[in-house]
Structure 1
């Protein structure tokens, strides 16, 4: 399938209708399970742009925040783990993860009224939750032996839900990692080398062929836009009614330029100015081909007549954060109101669960999902 065949394709009917999806961020960050409490990252980019990613509540960003000198996470890590590297969390995570029960997760998601599930296969730490045959050249064997992706795909589909996957195409800290505190730092951290470009493309190809996901949810960016026609054509050939999100910016020249201090400072100044002059929500511009837009910890205001999806955690993090308190989470009524607001305006709500390392989903996350499910199932 060429770009001419998929450009302008209508959003598939199954996804176009407003509905509930479940997002799952599970990984070795659930061993330290810590991030600062407070504002959402979306709000922090407005109130403290320069340090937002170092101060943010995203526990799944632990391996980045621990590298930012003087950050709350760096202090926490030094106090509790000394100078141990993030990689030291792999063994305890792998051991705890043996308790994973795909059927238990799928039962909960079905009871919540969800129609699709999106599982994080590889987050920014680069650790893969399937036994990939595409070897990481910088960290061989940096993947699970057990096929968590395949087990969950089977359990979800057995219950009549669709299965999608998330892949961090824009960041992989096993290939390149300079500490990230703001958006400029983040895009400067996108690996642009040929080794990562080939690796990411081969892994997405493997995931598509092996699991045929109904949703292909890329994060942050893509190392090089020259690959995208091949990536999308391959995906739609294997999943004709599949959908892709809008986080595929592949401006490799920009990513490379931002590694220079003057260019980085100019970029950050421009973003801060844009945020300051924007009334209401600020959305990144639509880039390349996509079937739907995404907003994060936001209401989806001002997107116009497009299909969109609102994504957020039940708390302020996506990965499990043991530092959060009950009041940091949506309760059942709060989740119901959010669902009605998003779907009432045509969006999908992709609500995230962050399991503990042993794959158990805390009751503070289970309870609101079940309350919403009772409403949806009437």
Structure 2
């Protein structure tokens, strides 16, 4: 009770201190599901478009998962095969507990079946000594990300901050994290002008329930249902919110039935007026945005959403992933454009090594994305969907639309030819065109249904090409 009272007092103090910056009519939230469900994603999140997800923990030490395909590839063929052949390295402990799985065999061969997973904390803490959070944050900034989300605690139950909350179920082999990863990265990210968010696994904690997940239905069975776990999860979340004040609170799987997630979310919204939560908090139905994983919507969505996935098949670091398992730079950029055109953000994941370095393949993709965004970000950041999200030229080249104010952006997935004809697009008289990153002015002609654009110069750039229209088209002929 004392902690809840202090948290409420702290909330009021923060709101008072911020009163000169926020609307004095700021809504005060209560533990009321109907009221909480009226909360909407803030403008900064709607405008951000690109975030970096970080899966980092003890699983980064063995850094193993089968590379038989992405979650969608495997489940489309046989849903029952996924957990046995889980390509998520961060699920190492669960897959290890499935006798005969590739991870079980890998662990037996390289460490022995008597080796406690939590003993990886020794290596993790040793490697962590050389981590430079400022350098990591600089990489994300140069990528063009506007926010970062770190796994504060994944399903293995190992926290990446010096928590005051004691977990009686953690094995003796687990050494507490030697550095405040959450705190140090939060400061570094904010120092670079980005928002910081925190992931927390509420639905699964394998220190409380050691029953391995064998199928989708098993997720609920493997969720700890004890009051003890609910109290730990509640205390963890309150600690993270009070200490680090994350701009994004990103839950996963479910949340314990006996937990007080609605009360926590109410306090969170009050403490952080521009805070935002995802849709994975269980039966409460609380959500500011949805989170398709290794998936995306095929049409414009009225409500905000965020597509999350790894650059490869795994979120956590998998030392056996190579180029053939990883999105190309072009695929990554096209994914971002497609998601943004439909009212989404892209939360693209990196899986650092135990020492905090990002694998070279992933670093290459981030660098290419950042270089493209420096030239073409005008057509991505702060935009909203237009009346349609996509189209194609007469020759079959795909493109996507975004809109910012009175400007329209047409983003081509292939390099334009000297002359391109765009179907069913009618411009207003006097509309001016530019091709971002190029110094010539495209010329255009209009007939009743199609738009012809001539590109008079040598076109520079790669991956995708952004045409800016100074005025919104008068109509699109469907």
- TM bucket, shorter chain: 0.7 to 0.9
Aligned partner of 1:370 among 367, 372, 376: 367
Shift of the alpha carbon at 1:299?
1.6
The residue that corresponds to 2:195 in the other structure is: 162
Equivalent-residue separation in structure 1 for 2:205 and 2:175 (angstroms)? 12
Question: Is the CA contact (8 Å cut-off) linking 1:54 and 1:180 kept in structure 2?
Answer: no
Select 1:126's aligned residue among 157, 160, 168.
157
Measured in 2, the distance between the counterparts of 1:91 and 1:376 equals 39
Query: Does the 8 Å CA contact 2:300/2:342 hold for their aligned counterparts?
Result: no
Equivalent-residue separation in structure 2 for 1:42 and 1:181 (angstroms): 17
Cα-to-partner distance string for 1:300-351 (whole Å, 9 max, x where unaligned): 2368421000000000000000111221111221211111111111100000
DSSP 3-state at the match of 2:83: helix
CA distance in 2, matches of 1:101, 1:29: 20
Asked whether the 8 Å contact 1:18–1:343 carries over to 2, the reply is no
Runs of 4+ in 1 over 4 A off after TM superposition: none
Q: Shift of residue 216 of structure 1?
A: 0.1
Deviation, 1:85, is 1.8
Q: Which residue of 2 aligns with 1:353?
A: 350
Structure 1 counterpart SS, 2:168 = coil
Q: With CA pairs under 8 Å and 6+ residues apart, which has the higher RCO, 1 or 2? A: 1
User: Quick one: structure 1 residues 60 and 226, their matched pair in 2 at CA, closer, same or farther if it must change by over 3 Å?
Assistant: closer
**For each residue in 1:157-198, what CA deviation from the matched residue of structure 2 results, as whole angstroms up to 9, or x when unmatched?**
011100000000011111112111211122210001000000
Are 1:166 and 1:217, in contact at CA under 8 Å, matched by a contact in 2?
Answer: yes
- Alignment TM-score, normalising by the size of structure 2: 0.69
User: How many residue pairs align between the two structures?
Assistant: 342
Q: What is residue 118 of structure 2 aligned with on the other side?
A: 87
Match of 2:335 among 333, 338, 346: 338
Structure with the higher fraction of residues in strand conformation: 2
Aligned to 1:185: 218
SS at structure 2 position matched to 1:167: strand
Secondary structure of the structure 1 residue equivalent to 2:291: strand
C-alpha distance in structure 1 between counterparts of 2:361 and 2:80, whole Å: 32
Q: Within 5 Å, which residues of 2 pair with 1:290-369?
A: 290-301=287-298, 304-369=301-366
Q: Which runs of 5+ in 2 are unaligned?
A: 1-28, 376-478
- Tell me, yes or no, if the aligned pair for 1:126 and 1:142 is still in contact at 8 Å: no
Higher helix share: 1
Residue correspondence of structure 1 range 130-141 to structure 2 within 5 A: 130-139=161-170
**In the aligned structure 2, how far is the partner of 1:164 from the partner of 1:175?**
25
CA 318–363 in structure 1, closer or farther in 2 if over 3 Å, else same? same
| Structure 1: gaps (5+ residues) | 251-286
| TM-score normalised to structure 1 length | 0.87
For 2:129 and 2:369, how far apart are their aligned partners in 1? Answer: 29
5 Å-filtered alignment, 1:1-378, equals 1-2=29-30, 3=32, 4-17=34-47, 19-83=49-113, 84-139=115-170, 143-224=176-257, 227-250=260-283, 288-301=285-298, 304-378=301-375
Q: Could you say which structure has the larger radius of gyration?
A: 2
